[in-house]
Structure 1
Amino acid sequence: MTKTNKIIYWIATLWLSLGMTSTGIVQLLRMKGEVEFILDLGYPDYFLTLLGLTKLLAVVAILIPRFPLLKEWAYAGLFFMMSGALYSHIAHHNTIKEIAPVMLLLLLISVSWYFRPMDRKLISVNFSK
């Protein structure tokens, strides 16, 4: 892994972790604006607990060393969660101002996953030989 790739990975991963941690905490604390927002999208308020806890656990899984399979699941979970959020915002006809943070998090998830070091990747086995 080149030095440039390491820098890209850590910048994307740290920004991703910061974004997911901050929104996860806001969701777990059920801050008034967040509750109103989730209800406005049509979801029950208890959904905030699931989203917040999942985000925090995924950040821990991505940042800790080893456990590449767990990291794959964490990246996939965050990607599907943010894809669902993007779809919800678009279906609700939200403005680009409300959609842009979700798109940024999707980009950070993708960049962090793509540039992750070899020791954070699953080893693929080719059974065709």
Structure 2
Amino acid sequence: MTIRTFRIMVRGVFDGLTDAQRAELLAAAPQHDVLHAAFTREGHLSYDLTARAAFTFRFLDQGEDEEDILEATERAEQAAQAWLTEHGYGYKNLRSQAEDLSQAPLGKRQRRAANTAN
């Protein structure tokens, strides 16, 4: 049985932040810089409040079947909502995008490696 790896991005916009919440997020901004963004099991949050109120969570999940991507996406959305709610941050316009890496096109190096293996 093959294990499929899914990358899921949950995007949204902070909504109704208080001055204290905004200051808290700005203080933690270096940890959430988009340049350090990574897909992780627990989810990685990135944002740049100085530019706009948008955020992105990046999740990594796995499944055995192609349909498992739907459950993985639901888990990612629930995890993002739970984190935001736990920290008291309002949000809106939550949406998700998921990718099954087993179906992703090969990059240049991967194509070259596959051609040399054959």
**TM surpasses 0.5:** no
Between Structure 1 and Structure 2, the one with more strand by share is 2
Q: TM-score, normalised by structure 2?
A: 0.31
Higher relative contact order (CA 8 A, sep 6+): 2
Structure with the greater alpha carbon radius of gyration: 2
Q: TM-score, normalised by structure 1?
A: 0.30
